[in-house]
Amino acid sequence: MNTKHFLAITAGALLLAACGKQGGSTPQASGTASAASAQANAGGVEEEKVLNFYNWPDYIPEHMLADFEKETGIKVNYQTFENNEMLNAKLVAGNSGYDLVVPGSVFAKTQIEAGLLRKLDKAQIPNYSNLDPAIMSKLDKVDPGNNYIVPWGWSYVTVAINKKAVDKVLAGTPMPANAWDLVFNPVYTGKLKSCGIAYLDAPSEILPSALRYIGKPAYSATIADYKAAGEMLAKVRPDVRIFTSTMIDDLASGKACAAIGWAGDINIARNRAVENKSDVQIEALVPSAGAIIFFDTLAIPKDAKHPGNAQKFINYFLQPKVSASLTNEVSYPVANKAAREFVKPEIAADKSTFLGDEDMAKMVAPESFTNEAREAMNAIFTEFKKGK
Ligand code: SPD
């Protein structure tokens, strides 16, 4: 049953150490904050009805922005970025022009510490109370007091396969016990290269999984560990065809038969192939060796021009049905406890979206990188990509 299953997920999430298309997403009244017609910004100046929102690609239900605009009269300018590194560079540079951004929690810690984000005024976000305290207490590790970030979607970095294509090129070689072998072990990548291997295009997406594969901590602070991961990666580099953070169509169309991707996007690709009535059968594998969990979060840049509108959007998103639409339409679970009853039963039952307790226990909880580790990751990933 939907609710019970979702509770199981939360129980699993408790074990963590740190940190479209569908009808029925009609927004509920979003509470007092969005009922206010305008809001003064920090300088006491009334905000113009504009929200500049910067999010990841393929990460918002189709009607959410239009519904928000209709309800509030706030015009949303929406742009996307492809990785945490890109967003972080904009925030560090300042004057990004964005009012609302979606950093991964693993980057949010240093962004908060560097003063790049604005403290939330929770009094303006009455729907904040819908958030699951269990997940918030985990995010408290990167955002003490939960003052700066609000969870958007969460998922894990994993291995995608196009089942028939992979079976065909493996030609009788059994699937490995460890799914990560498909993308990190030359014995498998050497075969799968003929049908296309895709990797996410960011150091912080690939290195933690690579580190873990070679037996090192996913968020290691030891630079030699990153070098060792780079050496492992160099061996499979000739077999990797595509680097992208938007691999949904590559998978759904059959252009890539194996990938390192986000489970949410892989499940969108699976659904898209079904909608297209193609014979491509995509699966997000849940590796027995575990995978890296991530939380993406809503945050307001320190120098945002329309922080009041950003808070109105956060409050809007935290309505139960609106939050549930992110899960129902974009395949990413949310941290809104009150949204649980609105998640479609078939999605709540999907074990690659909502991990069971046993799988969850194998997952690596989000932490954060030291600056040195981030620099090492960048250098090693750049070399890796070049070194074909
Ligand atoms: N469709 C894009 C989904 C966004 C995923 N964010 C991933 C961050 C993982 N570190």
Least confident span in 5-14, 103-112, 242-251:
5-14
Distance CA 59, CA 144 (A): 26
Using 50, 70 and 90 to split pLDDT, how confident is the model at 66?
very high
Q: What is the pLDDT of residues 68-98, one digit of tens each?
A: 999 999 999 999 999 999 999 999 999 999 9
Would you say residue 259 has pLDDT above 50? Answer: yes
Q: Which atom of ligand 1 is nearest to the CA of 58?
A: 1
Q: So what's the pLDDT on residue 84?
A: 97
Would you say residue 27 has pLDDT above 70? Answer: no
Would you say residue 16 has pLDDT above 70? Answer: no
Instruction: Measure the CA angle with vertex 63, ends 84 and 149; round to 5°.
Output: 35
Q: So what's the pLDDT on residue 32?
A: 34
**For range 310-315, the mean pLDDT:** 98
> Is ligand 1 within 6 A of the CB of residue 262?
yes
Q: Which residue's alpha carbon is at the smallest distance from atom 8 of ligand 1? A: 104
HEC profile of 68-120: HHHHHCCEEEEEECCCHHHHHHHHHHCCCCCCEECCEHHHHHHHHHCCCECCC
Question: Whole-number mean pLDDT of the chain?
Answer: 90
Of 158, 129, 90, nearest to 304 by C-alpha is 90
Q: So what's the pLDDT on residue 46?
A: 81
Q: So what's the pLDDT on residue 21?
A: 28
Q: So what's the pLDDT on residue 388?
A: 57
Q: So what's the pLDDT on residue 61?
A: 97
Least confident span in 27-31, 235-239, 350-354:
27-31
Q: So what's the pLDDT on residue 41?
A: 53
Q: What is the pTM of this model?
A: 0.89
Name the residue of 266, 294, 368, 374 to mutate for ligand 1: max ligand atoms within 8 A of Cβ: 294
Determine phi and psi for 323, rounding to 5 degrees.
-60, -45
**For range 224-244, the mean pLDDT:** 98
Share of the chain above pLDDT 70, in %: 88
Q: How many CB atoms lie within 10 A of CB 272?
A: 18
Residue 302 CA, chain-centre distance (Å), reads 22
Using 50, 70 and 90 to split pLDDT, how confident is the model at 13?
very low
Cα 262 to ligand 1 centre (Å): 6
Q: What is the largest CA-CA distance in the chain?
A: 69
Q: So what's the pLDDT on residue 43?
A: 53
Distance CA 266, CA 272 (A): 10
Q: Which atom of ligand 1 is nearest to the CA of 157?
A: 9
**All domains of the chain, ordered by start, with CATH?**
2-154+294-358 (3.40.190.10), 156-293+368-386 (3.40.190.10)
Using 50, 70 and 90 to split pLDDT, how confident is the model at 207?
very high
Least confident span in 27-36, 84-93, 101-110:
27-36
HEC profile of 42-60: CCCCECCCEEEEEECCCCC
Return the C-alpha torsion angle 202, 78, 158, 278, nearest 10.
Answer: -120
Question: 222 CB contacts (<8 Å, ≥6 apart)?
Answer: 216
Residue 242 CA, chain-centre distance (Å), reads 20
Would you say residue 42 has pLDDT above 70? Answer: no
Using 50, 70 and 90 to split pLDDT, how confident is the model at 147?
very high
